[in-house]
Amino acid sequence: MAHKRRAAVLGSPIAHSLSPQLHTAAYAALGLDGDWTYDRFDVDEDALPGFFAGLGPEWAGLSLTMPLKRAVIPLLDGITDTAASVETVNTVVFHADGRRTGDNTDIPGLVAALHERGVEKVESAAILGAGATASSALAALARVCTGEVVAYVRSERRADEMRGWGERLGVPVRTASWSDAAGAFEAPLVISTTPKGGTDHLVAEVPARVGTLFDVVYDPWPTPLAAAWQARSGPVLSGLDLLVHQAVFQFEQFTGDTRPVLAAMRAAGLAAL
């Protein structure tokens, strides 16, 4: 009897992840739930090599969250140009010939989410924050923004990092102090990459006329910033938009099935929240 094909999400902590609900919903929508399973495992950087060593031929792929997105790279046979552009892997694919390769679906996921909302090109943009998600956002803006990106950061070290990513990605990046973060709201596209609560103090600074906000938080939702934005009739995207779009790309790489699953994943995510 053939083994079920397996996939899972790894990270630490991991109990909050919605990836199992999204992928399982996609399997069910396409009638694959009898052949595929998707689990979650709490795995940190120290445990990752041992976890990899114990995987059998039934495994098709892994989704990765923090703190594994860079720690996994030495364990792989190669990574895509997209992953290499930000030195971050959130997707591992196990191939029939035994190779294990890494990709970053957050970047095309961000772009796809923006395109879904009609944001094809913008003349400028702003990023709030400077962590790993900010570098992926910058890589996405390399495909969407035709002009300058302003990154609002908390330290000169972070400023140097964002300028470095900009040079590497071919995006003109100007950095500004976090104390001036309300200045981001003048941009036609604002991507907030801070954890929940990180922008709450800026709510009173939201102007009467706003562009598009992409707030990568999805729980709780809406964030105070997103609520203030919606109150001014500004378009708002959430972390769930990013999560489902990047998960579609993962699903296609794991299964090889390109039938539509976005609606099923989004419904499962909304139900879980």
Rounded Cα distance, 218 and 196, in Å = 9
> Of 4, 69, 121, 196, which residue is the catalytic one?
69
Q: If we measure between CA atoms, which residue out of 127, 198, 216 comes closest to residue 169?
A: 127
Rounded Cα distance, 173 and 211, in Å = 19
**In which element (H, E) is residue 23 found?**
helix 19-29
CA dihedral 72, 106, 44, 254 (to 10 degrees): -70
Residue 69 falls in the annotated catalytic set:
yes
- Catalytic residue numbers, as ranges: 69
